[in-house]
Amino acid sequence: MAKVVAVYTGQGLSDPLKKVFDEQLPDSKLINIIDDSIISEVVSEGKITPAVKKRLFQYYQNAVDMGAEIILNTCSSVGEVADLARQFIDIPIVKIDEAMAKEAVSLYGSIGVIATLPSTLEPTMRLIQKQAESMGKSVLIVDGLAKGAYDALVNGRPDLHDQIILESASTLAQQVEAIVLAQGSMARMEQTLHDKTGIPVLSSPARGITEIKRLLGESSHA
């Protein structure tokens, strides 16, 4: 049974992602490492601190020590730490949003990015730009920061959170061909936002798991 270790910086995504994992990879085992102090520190400091980077490197190494075949980095805000860790960790690190970014760039010339925090928005926009450069494509990337949505959620107003995101999507839909959801936790809104805006909306969890499935398939045939 293949073992995958998912590293989380918050609590919200673990249950829905486990459901997707079990549907796509019923014969594999998912182990979670969750440190919900990380996203709080990134938000409060407005950047990835050396302490955050150190803890993440430790968790990736812990995953190796657990016998994982693949590590899943689930947080877009710290995806660039995963990029650095790939140079030192001996097993693949899958960034949950990388397959989504590749798909968006391959299909669309203008992409809106919705996030509830600048700490997630900016790395996701950089990731899309990096993918475009690697493909030799020029894409328009439009900032869709859903201001106030994060505060609404942490203050117990998920309805307001969703409404702010919907308003951001409606504005973006007038400017772009497709929308990317920077946070995996917003995947539950993918279909609703598509229905409301009439343009493609891409989220990361299912695409990230599909990438893991592809890599496990390759290793089984190696």
- Cα 50 from Cα 75, distance rounded (Å): 17
- Paired residues of 31 in beta bridges: 5
One pLDDT digit (tens) per residue for the chain, 222 residues: 899 999 999 888 899 999 999 999 999 999 999 999 999 899 899 899 999 999 999 999 999 999 999 999 999 999 999 999 999 999 999 999 999 999 999 999 999 999 998 989 999 999 999 999 999 999 999 999 999 998 898 899 999 999 999 999 999 999 999 999 999 989 999 999 999 999 999 999 999 999 999 999 876 555
CATH topology agreement for domains 3-96+206-220 and 98-203: yes
- Class of the CATH-defined domain 98-203: alpha beta
Could you tell me the two tokens for 44? Answer: 């409060």
Question: Which two tokens mark 213?
Answer: 């499935």
Count of CB atoms situated within 10 Å of the CB of 34: 16
Alpha helices in the chain (DSSP H): 14-24, 37-45, 50-65, 79-85, 98-107, 118-135, 149-154, 158-172, 190-197, 205-220
Q: Which helix (H) or strand (E) holds 180?
A: strand 178-181
Give 72's strand partners: 6, 94
Three-state DSSP class for residue 48: coil
Q: Reduced to 3 states, what is the DSSP secondary structure of residue 143? A: strand
8 A C-beta contact, residue 33 and residue 3: no
> Where are the domains positioned within the chain?
3-96+206-220, 98-203
CATH of domain 3-96+206-220: 3.40.50.1860
Long-range contact pairs involving 188-191 (C-beta distance under 8 Å, separation at least 24): 188/16, 189/162, 189/165
Q: How far apart are CA 113 and CA 182, in angstroms?
A: 6
Pairwise CA distance, residues 172 & 197, whole Å? 9
Among the listed residues 33, 29, 53, 23, the one whose alpha carbon sits nearest the alpha carbon of residue 41? 53
